[in-house]
Amino acid sequence: MGEATAPVRVAGEVIPPGQRCRIELPTGVLATGQPLPLPMEVLHGVRPGPRIWISAAIHGDELNGVEIIRKLLSELNPQRLAGTILAVPIVNVQGFLLESRYLPDRRDLNRSFPGSPRGSMASRLAHLFMHEVVRGCHLGIDLHTGADQRTNLPQIRADLSDPETGRLARAFGAPIVLHATLRDGSLRAAATARGTRVLVFEGGEARRFDRSVIEAGVSGILRVLRELGMRAGGPAPRETPSLESRSTSWIRAGRGGLLRLEVEPGDRVEKGRRVGVIRDAFGDKSLQIRTNRAGVVVGLTRSPTVNRGDALIHLASVEEGTVRPAAPPDRDRDMD
């Protein structure tokens, strides 16, 4: 890839090699009459290479990805880049302003792809993103956090049955890689249907910045850029390979009450281990929470109040021998 590259056209703008350009995609007009743009930054390298997109805040209250993209852009120089990067830090601008997962019409943008130019607000925004961002890209990296009052261990979700996707997922270097099937209406499903590979990064919780998650996201994306030949140098590969899981399940509340968990994301648990307790407000009635399988905690609720059936702990099964058992956490706990 030593030859020079040609200018690239994105959303009607022509970006010369070695340049970066800020673009505002028109998404509509607010009730006040003010336009509401979708901001994007394009970095076009001096050498030919892949075209990829990196996006965050499809759910407007998921903030870690916004900071990941900000830090990433500060480290990238198109003069030392091969290929093209389209960075969209806030896809759901209205949800971001409202600190809401959803758009104002209460639709989930990540269940509205590929969208339609004549559909709902969510459908129109999804169509715009597919047309102006996803089209022509070889790879997408979509950044997420846990939903409201849930937190996730930094992880990559991807189709590991595809060798190239699996290679890039492992190159990212997250603590764990989950084989994830496609969900109808998601950006990943719509992009995959068009032949674009997608990595979904999950880490942390909504409405919070988590420094360790942000660092993991930035380092992981830089590793993927190096793996693709788009950028030299950067973070070294992880000393230990990412864990891999092809099966996950949730431990759910057997009754309502006040929850006290005894594990954190990343903990290894054995089958039958006590991982928490649910009590009523007086402490007269309690229910111990025990695992029905061994695995790694990849997500959990942060809510102290739960109802029967609520999702409490997300466990990922991994092959035996790939994880060193973690010692039980040294935390103040009530032993029933």
Between 128 and 327, the higher pLDDT residue: 128
Q: What average pLDDT does the segment 115-137 reach?
A: 96
pLDDT at 197 over 70: yes
* Same domain membership, residue 305 and residue 187: no
* Same domain membership, residue 256 and residue 211: no
What does the DSSP assignment read for 109-167? GGGS-S--TTS-HHHHHHHHHIIIIITT-SEEEEEE---TTEEEEEEEEE-TTSHHHHH
* Same domain membership, residue 226 and residue 284: no
We report the CATH number of the domain holding residue 282 as 2.40.50.100
Structural domain including 255 reads 247-317
Residue-wise pLDDT for 148-174, tens only, equals: 899 999 999 999 999 999 999 999 999
Asked if the structure places residue 325 within a domain, the reply is no
Q: What average pLDDT does the segment 84-98 reach?
A: 97
| Token pair for 290 | 């025990």
* Same domain membership, residue 231 and residue 158: yes
Asked if the structure places residue 61 within a domain, the reply is yes
* Same domain membership, residue 103 and residue 69: yes
* Same domain membership, residue 309 and residue 199: no
pLDDT at 327 over 70: no
pLDDT at 233 over 70: yes
Torsion angle, alpha carbons of 27, 96, 176, 172, to 10: 50
pLDDT value of position 239: 84
Asked if the structure places residue 327 within a domain, the reply is no
Percent of the chain with pLDDT over 90: 87
Q: How many domains does the chain have?
A: 2
For residues 236 and 222, give the distance between their C-alpha atoms in angstroms, rounded to a whole number. Answer: 10
Q: What average pLDDT does the segment 179-198 reach?
A: 96
Residue-wise pLDDT for 54-69, tens only, equals: 999 999 999 999 999 9
Asked if the structure places residue 328 within a domain, the reply is no
Asked if the structure places residue 333 within a domain, the reply is no
* Same domain membership, residue 120 and residue 16: yes
For residues 298 and 306, give the distance between their C-alpha atoms in angstroms, rounded to a whole number. Answer: 19
Between 146 and 332, the higher pLDDT residue: 146
The residue type found at 44 is H
Domain boundary among 243, 262, 284: 243
Give residue 322's pLDDT band: very low, low, confident or very high (50, 70, 90): very low
pLDDT value of position 3: 64
pLDDT value of position 234: 84
* Same domain membership, residue 104 and residue 29: yes
Quote the DSSP letter at residue 253.
-
Question: Which of 30-39, 70-79, 125-134, 194-203 shows the lowest per-residue confidence on average (mean pLDDT)?
Answer: 30-39
* Same domain membership, residue 81 and residue 55: yes
* Same domain membership, residue 276 and residue 132: no
Does the bond joining 114 to the residue before it have cis omega, within 30 degrees of 0? Answer: yes
Asked if the structure places residue 195 within a domain, the reply is yes
* Same domain membership, residue 174 and residue 107: yes
* Same domain membership, residue 140 and residue 268: no
